[in-house]
Amino acid sequence: MNIGFIGLGVMGRPMAEHLIDAGHTLHLSRVKEASEHLIAKGGKAAASPKAVAEASDIIILMLPDTPDVEAVLFGENGVSSGLSAGKLIIDMSSISPVATKGFARRIEALDCDYLDAPVSGGEVGAKAASLTIMVGGKEAAFARVLPLLEKMGKNITLVGGVGDGQTAKVANQIIVGLTIEAVAEALLFAKKAGADPAKVRAALMGGFASSRILEVHGERMVKETFEPGFRIRLHRKDMTLAVDSARALDLSLPNTAATQQLMNAAIANGDGERDHSALIRTLELLAGGPR
């Protein structure tokens, strides 16, 4: 297939590479030094999102936030200006479910299809092609792109209509964020009580408290290795989506709101570019510990 891919960041680069390795022709926008190996492997650099859309049958977006998606789709030389009937947009970014529905209406008015397909699994999952992919949109469009999604992920679910994929991703980020905060509190408690956090974590891994987050992020907390797999700044964005959506629904999510505030504090204290497991550093600061 001729595929457009816009958003060659930490996760977008390996996702695009898997598609090239599968034999597809990729048209790439915003190719920077870190992405030049994709050109060496056969990817084709395009001058603008519009040029990507003109050259592609399916256009994949993997961008940081809602305004970025809107600008790439509808800004000057945006994707929408290069579309023709029958093309398909897959937005794999994590953005507002409400905005997603509006974007889809505008794209569908051009006689094109739109899927939202946010992912979970971080950089590790992107590199291993083992991402969880949560899809919203029409069943026929989903069936059309499933072989592509299978090159990037393992657990792929059509959740429902457009926007439902983003809703599932927000729910995912609530669980991940609150669990990271819980693990951080538990390990900080162990440390302040005089126990070895590493041994406490090892003991908990054999019980009902065991989780993937205790395993991976707990180890990062113990070893204080916070190179980003997923940055606090980006997770704060997702938690803000949750809080804002809850407000629109007149829904109370008290622990989600509290964790978002801790992430605000982490960013204020200079940890926004660290891995989200570094949230423990903010809790240590509240406990009077070292920075």
Catalytic member of 32, 41, 101, 169: 169
SS3 133: strand
50 is catalytic: no
Tokens of 120: 């979970």
**How far is CA 83 from each of CA 78, 111, 119, 142, 218, rounded to the nearest angstrom?**
9, 9, 25, 19, 46
- Helical H runs in the chain? 12-21, 36-40, 49-55, 66-74, 97-108, 122-128, 139-149, 164-192, 197-204, 212-223, 232-248, 254-268, 279-286
The catalytic residue positions are 169
